[in-house]
Structure 1
Amino acid sequence: MLNNVPNVVHTSAEPMPATAGHVPLLTAVEGPVLLPDDIGYGEECRTFNLSRALTPAVVVGATHTDDVAAAVRHAGRLGMPVAVRNQGHQVVLPTAEDALLITTNRLQEISVDPGRRTVRVGAGVTWAQVLTETDKTGLAPIVGSAPHVGVIGYTLGGGLSPLLGRKLGYAADHVRWMEVVTADGAVREVTPERLPDLFWALLGGKGNFGVVTRMEFDVFPFPRFYGGGLWFRGEEMLPVLEAWRALVPELGEDTMTSFSVQRLPDVAALPQPLRGAFVLHVRLGHLGDSTTGARIAAPLRAAATPVFDTLTERPFGEIGEIHRDPVHAMPLVETGFALREFSAGTLGRLMELTGPGSGCSMKNVEVRALGGALDREPARPNSVSSRGVPYMTFAVGSGSPAQLRTMAEFARAYAGGLTPWRAPHHVINFLSPDEALSEAEVRDVYGAERYARLAALKRVYDPANMFRFNHNIKPAA
């Protein structure tokens, strides 16, 4: 472990070993500094997708903002790129083998101000931790479908809630303040009034402009909701999805819905009707009472009889029950893109690709209905790229290496099969590691005008493209 390396003095004639170049980090940071052969290195670099191992040259486990700043300055002196691992499902591209990796899970500050209706968190805080605190006050954050993910990484990619999105927009739309370490190692406080261009770029730029170490955002008075899911036999997915397709345009902004075609494993952790089953999971989240919520769900129940039903009125802290996303790290294959419509033609092609007899190998293929406030520009402008996208789809699967190869083939076939209905922009958090890798592809995701502005700001704040282990925005020439 590098923390135990003694001080070593090298003459200019001596070749300097790799460890010696990082010795200054020992006195500059309080957290662990690890090299590939050190105990704890693998766990420090571990990500949610176990098929995407990180192998950086050195990793710094930051304990506070000063550690982050010191690590960035050290990387700058050595001309090293910097990768950042937050909590949750974050994608770090590619393996970061020549990089200095900063992990932020130790940055555990969290405070709730009920009077101002705000929360301030450090970069290591997850939404589950926030929910534990906000539930005591009756206030609700714009949390996503998986509460175990990190707050800051989720928000920098926009932050799509399965309950509050159509009512309030993206999580990024309600950020008030950020603390960020930029590529020059400076610690900056960023607000819509102070460094507004950097504020705009960070929220939607997903890690391209620095390391956000702390964030403050609004929370809202929604202590309860009606929601959960209806599972139907996979053989009955066509009539249910026809009912879902008719229901979506009638929904108010108080209601969000999605569905997932699932081929579930036969494991004891699942309820008996779902073990080893091929099912359609329709999700619903409604900011209202059970009477209204049940009326909204009635057309779905009329289309077929659910084999499992969890729709009920709940405290806001149970928002994770809408999607029931997996919480444990696993090897994954995934693909995601936006849809400009969910028409009869879209549904027909989806049935061919994922329905009964399709041979679909993916464990989970979902479509989310967006719209409402997700389409509106926020009062505090940001660079979120997916406004105006009515639907998005995401497919994910896990298994053995051989199964992952089969799933990767399906992912390509699925993306190709829905090409006639694809929209150019997309929710950045749902881009897979194999998508939007080229500059042209990233430009398409953001749109030419937004990308040009981001690239110009990248030239200002990160001219050497230090932060490039992501869906990278390159500095403008």
Structure 2
Amino acid sequence: MDSLRRRLTGELVEPADPRYAELTAGFNAAITATPAAVVEARDPQDVVEAVTFAAGSGIPVAVQATGHGIADSLDGALLINTRRLDECVVHADGWARVGAGVRWQQVLDAAAPHGLAPLSGSAPGVGVVGYTTGGGLGPVGRTYGWASDRVRAAEIVTGEGVLRRVTAETEPDLFWAVRGGKGAVGIVTAMEFDLVRQERLHAGALYFAGADAATVLHRWREWSAGLPAEATTSVALLQLPPLPGVPEPLAGRFSVAVRFAWTGDPATGEATLAPLRAVATPLIDAVQVIPYAAIGMIHADPVDPMPVHETSDLLRELPAEAVDALLGVAGPDAGSPQVIVELRQLGGAFAVPGEHPSALDHRDAAFSLITIGVLVPPVAGAVAPHADEVSAALKPWSTGATLPNLGAAVGAERIARSYRPETLSRLVEVARRFDPSGVFTVGQVPVR
């Protein structure tokens, strides 16, 4: 480790160092990461040095910037923290270049003065690179598609310790793999991607009482089936705790949130949402014209770490029977321990192939399903078994697949659900070619 320390511009932090806990902390407080050491990279060359050292020492490598991708203990690995790679440049002609440590809100704020917008996720505090390499399922995706399809170029340190600039023309296999393949082929130090011209949205959420859950879900199912691509929507069954920051009408009670983002004319968006507004009296009506940079208010995702358990599935359809099954296992009378059970409508631009082929699979799914439970007494022991019950209840309409970014998770079973066999086979082949020592074999990467 001392030999590596001497080669770094940044710092090498070992477990006895007071900063170790800070640099290994993840967003999911239920997971404690225990890598052998952490490299806090200050530039891409630090990443090169760390990967080269690991390959020569037989130590596996993992990477994090914001902590949202930590999914296992990383025991014995060398963790490369890229949060200091914070370059963020927005070009007025419609594209951006960011370092691996940049979060979406930084890009949102930098793009807004130009009338531009990135295809960020529902939580702007998430890192750009981890989100995009997993596909990028965002709140306006039915209009604009996946974030990974907007990537122009990536700079990647591969397993041989080589920094490569990857484009569709220069490195087609790596370019294919990095867009959807998560960390399979290396550590991204910078990324360039196209922006969209969207200054404002007609967007937000309607929150209804739990007593209206069945009415709202069935109406949402019918209404969403006829939506044009200007609309992206989701519905969530919520049981939010009475904590600071939770609005009083929602705190400590069952509620239903209908999320809505309209990229077209606001008046048309208002008319499009009207049937949902009329289905019941909302506890809170937060749908309005907002600056695109405020896109995080649509889902209002939590910003503080907490111990959670997440599961995810993809559905090929959502008939009325599926809604009844979901209400039976997670509705207001089901005794569900989950904080959130969410359905996102896919389709629209999500279903359209990108300009360049990528490792992102399952574009043909109609809906995503995710459960999130908080692992605290007295429900901690019930969360995981109940999440399995939710998946089982929706199994008749499930594709059996999931997406790489729908809940951080590891293991062969999760990887197999995230990729079709032919995609996984190609990912493994590309990864072995550019990482012959098997450095990248921990964390959310395809097993080899």
Sort the TM-score into its range (normalised by shorter chain): over 0.9
Per the normalisation by structure 1, the TM-score is 0.91
2:114 paired with 1:101: no
1:412: Cα distance to partner? 1.7
> What RMSD, in angstroms, separates the aligned Cα atoms of the two structures?
1.4
2:109 paired with 1:135: no
Structure 2 gap ranges (5+): none
Task: Kindly provide the CA deviation profile for residues 82-129 of structure 1, in whole angstroms up to 9, marking residues without a partner as x.
Answer: 01112252134x3111110000111110101112x1100000000011
In structure 2, what is the Cα distance between the partners aligned to 1:319 and 1:185?
Answer: 37
2:335 paired with 1:362: no
Bigger Cα Rg: 1
Residue 56 of structure 2 aligns to which amino acid in structure 1? R
2:99 paired with 1:122: yes
Residue 457 of structure 1 aligns to which amino acid in structure 2? V
Aligned to 2:445: 472
Task: Kindly provide the CA deviation profile for residues 225-276 of structure 1, in whole angstroms up to 9, marking residues without a partner as x.
Answer: 1010000011111111111111112111111000110011112312221221
1:285: Cα distance to partner? 0.3
1:146 aligned residue (116, 123, 127)? 123
In structure 2, what is the Cα distance between the partners aligned to 1:130 and 1:147?
Answer: 9
2:138 aligned residue (146, 161, 166)? 161
DSSP-derived class of the 2:174 partner: helix
In structure 2, what is the Cα distance between the partners aligned to 1:143 and 1:444?
Answer: 24
Residues 173-182 or 416-425, more deviating = 416-425
Aligned to 2:14: 35
Per the normalisation by structure 2, the TM-score is 0.97
1:330 aligned residue (306, 311, 319)? 306
1:454: Cα distance to partner? 1.2
DSSP-derived class of the 1:473 partner: coil
Residue 179 of structure 1 aligns to which amino acid in structure 2? E
DSSP-derived class of the 2:164 partner: strand
Q: Is this contact kept in 2: 1:368–1:391, CA < 8 A?
A: yes
Task: Kindly provide the CA deviation profile for residues 34-73 of structure 1, in whole angstroms up to 9, marking residues without a partner as x.
Answer: 1111111011100100111110011100111000100001
2:277 paired with 1:301: yes
1:399: Cα distance to partner? 4.1
1:402: Cα distance to partner? 5.0
In structure 2, what is the Cα distance between the partners aligned to 1:444 and 1:412?
Answer: 15
Matches within 5 A, 1:47-196: 47-92=26-71, 94-115=72-93, 117-163=94-140, 165-196=141-172
Aligned to 1:452: 425
Q: Is this contact kept in 2: 1:235–1:355, CA < 8 A?
A: no
DSSP-derived class of the 1:98 partner: coil
In structure 1, what is the Cα distance between the partners aligned to 2:438 and 2:145?
Answer: 30
Q: Is this contact kept in 1: 2:184–2:427, CA < 8 A?
A: no
Residue 442 of structure 1 aligns to which amino acid in structure 2? I
DSSP-derived class of the 1:414 partner: helix
Q: Is this contact kept in 2: 1:335–1:411, CA < 8 A?
A: yes
In structure 1, what is the Cα distance between the partners aligned to 2:272 and 2:212?
Answer: 20
Q: Is this contact kept in 1: 2:402–2:417, CA < 8 A?
A: no
Q: Is this contact kept in 2: 1:50–1:331, CA < 8 A?
A: yes
Task: Kindly provide the CA deviation profile for residues 352-385 of structure 1, in whole angstroms up to 9, marking residues without a partner as x.
Answer: 0111210100001100000111111111221111
Q: Is this contact kept in 1: 2:41–2:82, CA < 8 A?
A: yes
Matches within 5 A, 1:428-447: 428-433=404-409, 437-438=411-412, 441-447=414-420
DSSP-derived class of the 1:241 partner: helix
Q: Is this contact kept in 2: 1:261–1:365, CA < 8 A?
A: yes
In structure 2, what is the Cα distance between the partners aligned to 1:48 and 1:78?
Answer: 29
Runs of 4+ in structure 1 deviating by more than 4 angstroms, as ranges, are none
DSSP-derived class of the 1:423 partner: coil
Question: How many aligned residue pairs are there?
Answer: 448
Aligned to 1:246: 222
Q: Is this contact kept in 1: 2:68–2:408, CA < 8 A?
A: no
Q: Is this contact kept in 2: 1:226–1:313, CA < 8 A?
A: yes
Residue 445 of structure 2 aligns to which amino acid in structure 1? N
Q: Is this contact kept in 1: 2:122–2:301, CA < 8 A?
A: yes
Residue 303 of structure 2 aligns to which amino acid in structure 1? V
Residue 84 of structure 1 aligns to which amino acid in structure 2? V
1:432: Cα distance to partner? 4.2
1:316: Cα distance to partner? 0.5
DSSP-derived class of the 1:429 partner: coil
DSSP-derived class of the 1:273 partner: coil
Residue 358 of structure 2 aligns to which amino acid in structure 1? N
In structure 2, what is the Cα distance between the partners aligned to 1:429 and 1:444?
Answer: 12
Residue 271 of structure 2 aligns to which amino acid in structure 1? R
Q: Is this contact kept in 1: 2:10–2:42, CA < 8 A?
A: yes
DSSP-derived class of the 1:272 partner: coil
2:187 paired with 1:211: yes
In structure 2, what is the Cα distance between the partners aligned to 1:221 and 1:399?
Answer: 41
In structure 2, what is the Cα distance between the partners aligned to 1:135 and 1:376?
Answer: 27
Asked which structure has the greater RCO (Cα within 8 Å, sep 6+), the reply is: 2
